[in-house]
Amino acid sequence: MWRHGVLLVVVLVSVIQAAERPNIVFIAIDDQNDWIGHLGGHPLAKTPHLDALAKRGTTFLNAHCQAPLCNPSRTSLLMGLRPTTTGVYGLAPSIRTLPQWRDRVSLPQHFAANGWRTLGAGKIWHGGITSGGKGAPEFQVAGPKGGVGTKPPKKLIPPTPGGNHPLMDWGVWPLDNDDSGKGDYQVASWAVEQIATAPKDQPFFLAAGFFLPHVPCYATQQWFDLYPDDDSVLPRIFAGDRDDTPRFSWYLHWDLPEPRLQWLQEQHQWRNLVRSYLACTSFVDAQVGRLMAALEKAGLADNTIVVVWGDHGWHLGEKGISGKNSLWDRGTKVPLIFAGPGVTAGQRCSQPAELLDTQPTLIALAGLAARDDQEGLSLVPQLRDAATRRERPAITSHNQGNHGVRSERWRYIRYADGTEELYDLIADPQEWRNLAALPEHAAVIADHRRWLPTTDVPPAPASAHRVLTYDRASDTATWEGKPITRSDPIP
Ligand SMILES: [Ca+2]
Ligand SMILES: [Ca+2]
């Protein structure tokens, strides 16, 4: 009798624990800026599935990456550390090759250690579902690699400046309207299958990393048909926008394969790029929709936390550039949506949020004890009540010494040479007018300056690709190993 009683208690506790431990679906979208229907970054963007998810959860209207580049942004989120703490600023190294971080428990590893079954496919780390190190696996179950998938036999656009990089391409592909050869479609198909066949006695942490709208922006015709083929798709730009940005702002994206606006205009590729990016966004939105439908079908929607995030923004002509690597909203602002148990439905939160907050938030929503080694803040207070003030602004860093500080109203940027920008996002949401030199804003600047990272380490050993360093004593900047002088023409 006594033994049966103990057994009953054990069974009951397990049942309660299983009911209390939610599944997690963790969706990353590569290079996805705020051109998402409900975020309003582009008036024509069509993302019905992300909009529906936002309606049944809380969406952050002012969420920012910690670095405007894949590897450092993803490393920061998955490790819970700022780039200014790890020195991972470039596309290399992988953090797992650095001895002091090699064995640090990542977000999915933390869930595995606490009893979740962890599965991953596509682009989660910069290198996919592995972090590039030789340590413990990042996920227990590995799905397809995803990525571009089917590619045209040759580039669809004219040769691009800076070496005609193979990824710098966009347009309609494949021509037969069949999406099944695309890496993201395959990642979604695998994730749908995993949801349908998930063991019922163990919660899962399922990560799906979509590659698009990262270049090459190939989409089938059906997604292009959602957008008019005329100049109404183009983002608003301001000629001469860079006249009041410091020269150092150019150093952050000095010499890149991503074309400048001038090239896009001269080659009549601007509209094509914009439509291709929007088409890819809508295609990825549909893949998110497939995962959400699978959760509904499996009866898991009520016991699954869904988080969707983009790793950084992307310029499509704004401020004269395309691509990432900037500290303005266009480069830092990302979608960040939470839905599921513990999340108030239908909220739009305008508090600043950081991708770095994702890990402490998921840990809290899952009912686990907080980790004391996280640099982000749990967003659970905002997920309960979106009006709750977050105690600090969002910080983005692009290489040592260059930081953006985004509060509810303002963006303050300080570059390594000491030059600054300040924007009033209420009066000037496009960040066209740099107010940093106006004495009446001295107090606002001082208030934002105090949030600049106090730990701001140099690049980690073997840092490479989009790495910028600056020596203040000699006023010498070095971009990817080559010095930039004050008189060099802007490329
Ligand atoms: Ca990226
Ligand atoms: Ca300007």
**3-state SS string for 275-291:** HHHHHHHHHHHHHHHHH
Counting ligands in written order, which one lies closest to the CA of residue 69?
Answer: 1
Catalytic residue, candidates 70, 217, 280, 349? 70
CA distance 214 to 314: 9
Is 6 among the domain residues? Answer: no
DSSP state, 349?
E
Ion ligand 2: residues, CB < 5 A: 241, 244, 432
User: What does the block give as tokens for 185?
Assistant: 């479609």
CA-based angle 144:145:146, to the nearest 5? Answer: 95
pLDDT of residue 3: 52
- The type of residue at 308 is V
Structure confidence at residue 233 (pLDDT): 98
Residues 428, 12: Cα–Cα separation, whole Å: 57
Query: Does 281 reside within a domain?
Result: yes
Nearest ligand, CA of residue 72? 1
Ligand 2 geometric centre to CA of 237 (Å): 10
* Gyration radius from the chain CA atoms: 22
Q: Is residue 186 part of a domain?
A: yes
How far apart are the C-alpha atoms of 415 and 379, rounded to whole Å? 29
| 60: CATH | 3.40.720.10
241 CA to centre of ligand 2 in angstroms: 4
Residue 402 in any domain: the answer is: no
- Asked whether residue 415 is assigned to any structural domain, the reply reads no
Which element (helix H / strand E) includes 250? helix 247-251
Bond before 341 cis per omega within 30 degrees: no
Collapsing DSSP to helix, strand or coil, 231 comes out as helix
3-state secondary structure of 48: helix
Q: Which of 49, 64, 126, 214 is catalytic?
A: 126
CA angle 62, 67, 71 (to 5 degrees): 130
For residue 11, the model assigns a pLDDT of 46
Q: Is 441 among the catalytic positions?
A: no
451 within a domain of the structure (yes/no): no
Output DSSP code: residue 381: H
The residue range of the domain holding 273 is: 19-392
| Sequence-ordered list of residues with C-beta below 8 angstroms from that of 6, at least 6 positions apart, any chain | none
Confirm if 267 and 158 have CB atoms less than 8 A apart: yes
61 alpha carbon – ligand 2 mean position (Å): 23
Q: Please give the tally of structural domains in the chain.
A: 1
480 assigned to some structural domain: no
Report helix angle 270-297 to 48-55, nearest 10: 50
The b/e string for 356-370 (b: 16+ C-beta within 10 A; e otherwise) is bbbbbbbbbbbebee
Taking the centre of ligand 1 as the mean of its atom positions, its distance from the CA of residue 323, in whole angstroms, is: 10
pLDDT tens series, the chain, 491 aa: 445 555 555 444 444 444 579 999 999 999 999 999 999 999 999 999 999 999 999 999 999 999 999 999 999 999 999 999 999 999 999 999 999 999 999 999 999 999 999 999 999 999 999 888 777 899 999 999 999 999 999 999 999 999 999 999 999 999 999 999 999 999 999 999 999 999 999 999 999 999 999 999 999 999 999 999 999 999 999 999 999 999 999 999 999 999 999 999 999 999 999 999 999 999 999 999 999 999 999 999 999 999 999 999 999 999 999 999 999 999 999 999 999 999 999 999 999 999 999 999 999 999 999 999 999 999 999 999 999 999 899 999 999 999 999 999 999 999 999 999 999 999 999 999 999 999 999 999 999 999 999 999 999 999 999 999 999 999 999 999 999 999 999 99
Distance (angstroms) between ligand 1 centre and the Cα of 28 equals 9
Q: Are residues 282 and 32 in contact, defined by beta-carbon separation less than 8 angstroms?
A: no
Residues within 5 A (CB) of ion ligand 1? 30-31, 70, 311
| Ligand of minimum distance to the alpha carbon of 328 | 2
Q: Which ligand is nearest to the CA of 67?
A: 1
Q: pTM for this structure? A: 0.96
Q: Is 398 a catalytic residue?
A: no
Residue 51 lies in a domain: yes
